């Protein structure tokens, strides 16, 4: 069976479930989509296809969340980080385009596991908070975003250190990801990675992601910031571990 030329098989449904879960996590925490969909999509299809799918599903469905988040953001924090992302992201896309599939999958998993371990440990950045530092944070995020679609962890660690509550972090992340989608979309298109297959798959998965976002947004406010972090991080860690290339033989 095919839909718009895309085979609807076990791999298709595995990624669909992952995208639905990622939408819920993103809706209530403000992050997690790339860290869940990235490794699952790389395992079921390829890293290059996974990143384009991420771009497509995370664009239009985010509009309602963007509108509400605009009231809570800090442009002083947001703009330099976004600028750093845009400057370094092309280097990450080059790594994505030229790297082999297994290397990229290990890279994704290593970054995600490290990020989750640091976030779970409770460590916070306590250094200077000036414009050069914000640009550097955005630059690291830009490389990870371009190479693996997981540009969130450096920025999450940086903003959570402000201790201003889940609402601020969630709002800034929503707007930040919206800006970086624009940068990433341009870069992926210029690199020739936005194929018909990957874009079509993104369109097919977008409604599933939207439903997840709406469910997650409804859940926001029913629990504490700490609880949201623990749930999101546990799901992200599970996705990273279960999709390790070393476990491919067990899944075949």
A 10 A CB-CB count for 33 gives 29
Higher pLDDT pick, 250 / 45: 45
DSSP state of 36: H
Tens digit of each residue's pLDDT (9 = 90 or more) over 87-145? 999 999 999 999 888 898 898 888 888 888 887 887 777 778 889 999 999 999 999 98
User: Cβ distance 138 to 92 under 8 Å?
Assistant: no
Query: Alpha helix (H) ranges present in the chain?
Result: 10-29, 33-44, 47-57, 63-69, 75-98, 101-121, 131-148, 152-160, 166-190, 196-219, 225-242, 248-251
Distance CA 233, CA 229 (A): 6
Task: Please give the average per-residue pLDDT across 32-59, as a whole number.
Answer: 89
Q: Could you tell me the pLDDT band of residue 29, with boundaries at 50, 70 and 90? A: confident
- pLDDT of res. 224: 67
Give percent above pLDDT 70 in the chain. Answer: 92
Q: What is the DSSP string of 134-168?
A: HHHHHHHHHHHHHHHS--HHHHHHHHHTT---HHH
| CA atoms 207, 212, 214, 215: torsion sign | positive
**Which residues, listed in sequence order, are joined to residue 6 by a DSSP beta bridge?**
3
Tens digit of each residue's pLDDT (9 = 90 or more) over 179-221? 888 888 899 999 998 999 999 999 999 999 999 988 888 877 6
Q: How many distinct structural domains can be found in the chain?
A: 1
**Which residues, listed in sequence order, are joined to residue 3 by a DSSP beta bridge?**
6
Task: Please give the average per-residue pLDDT across 14-28, as a whole number.
Answer: 90
Question: What is the token pair recorded at 245?
Answer: 């290339």
Q: Could you tell me the pLDDT band of residue 71, with boundaries at 50, 70 and 90? A: confident
Domain range for 99 is 2-251
The whole model's pTM is what?
0.80
């Amino acid at each position: 069976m095919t839909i718009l030329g895309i085979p609807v098989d076990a791999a298709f449904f595995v990624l669909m479930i992952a995208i639905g879960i990622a939408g819920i996590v993103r809706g209530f925490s403000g992050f997690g989509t790339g860290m869940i969909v990235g490794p699952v999509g790389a395992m079921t299809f390829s890293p290059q296809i996974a990143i384009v799918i991420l771009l497509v599903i995370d664009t239009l469905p985010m509009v309602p969340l963007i509108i509400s988040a605009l009231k809570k953001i800090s442009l002083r924090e947001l703009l330099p980080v976004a600028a750093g992302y845009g400057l370094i992201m092309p280097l990450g896309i080059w790594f994505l385009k030229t790297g082999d599939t297994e290397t990229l999958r290990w890279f994704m998993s290593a970054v995600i596991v490290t990020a989750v371990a640091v976030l779970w440990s409770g460590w916070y950045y306590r250094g200077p908070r000036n414009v050069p530092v914000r640009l550097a944070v955005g630059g690291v995020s830009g490389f990870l975003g371009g190479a693996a679609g997981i540009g969130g962890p450096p920025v999450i660690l940086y903003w959570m250190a402000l201790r201003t509550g889940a609402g601020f972090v969630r709002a800034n992340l929503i707007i930040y990801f919206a800006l970086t989608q624009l940068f990433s979309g341009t870069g992926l298109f210029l690199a020739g990675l936005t194929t018909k297959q990957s874009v079509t798959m993104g369109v097919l998965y977008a409604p599933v992601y939207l439903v997840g976002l709406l469910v997650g947004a409804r859940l926001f406010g029913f629990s504490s910031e700490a609880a949201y972090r623990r749930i999101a991080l546990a799901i992200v860690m599970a996705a990273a571990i279960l999709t390790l290339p070393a476990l491919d033989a067990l899944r075949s």
